[in-house]
Amino acid sequence: MKIQWLGHACFAVTLENGKTVVTDPFDQSVGYPQPDLTADYVTVSHQHFDHNAVKK
């Protein structure tokens, strides 16, 4: 398993099977660079722009 911090509360977790889980994706207004990745699964802890930017 590989865990990578992407900024704010967002992490990418790459599992041993190659699947990627992204937690709490943020939008560009947060101030961190937007990660360029594709997730197999996305989790959102709550409905706020800095935790639920699930659209690409």
CA distances 37 to 6, 50, Å, are 10, 17
Q: Is residue 55 part of a domain?
A: no
**DSSP calls for 44-55:** -SSSSTTT----
pLDDT at 25 over 80: yes
Q: Can you give the pLDDT at residue 56?
A: 62
Q: Can you give the pLDDT at residue 15?
A: 98
Domain holding 20, by residue range, is 2-43
Q: Is residue 10 part of a domain?
A: yes
Q: Is residue 48 part of a domain?
A: no
Number of folded domains that form the chain:
1
Mean pLDDT of the chain: 93
pLDDT average, residue stretch 19-46: 94
Q: Is residue 34 part of a domain?
A: yes
The pTM assigned to this predicted structure is 0.86
Q: Is residue 51 part of a domain?
A: no
Q: Is residue 53 part of a domain?
A: no
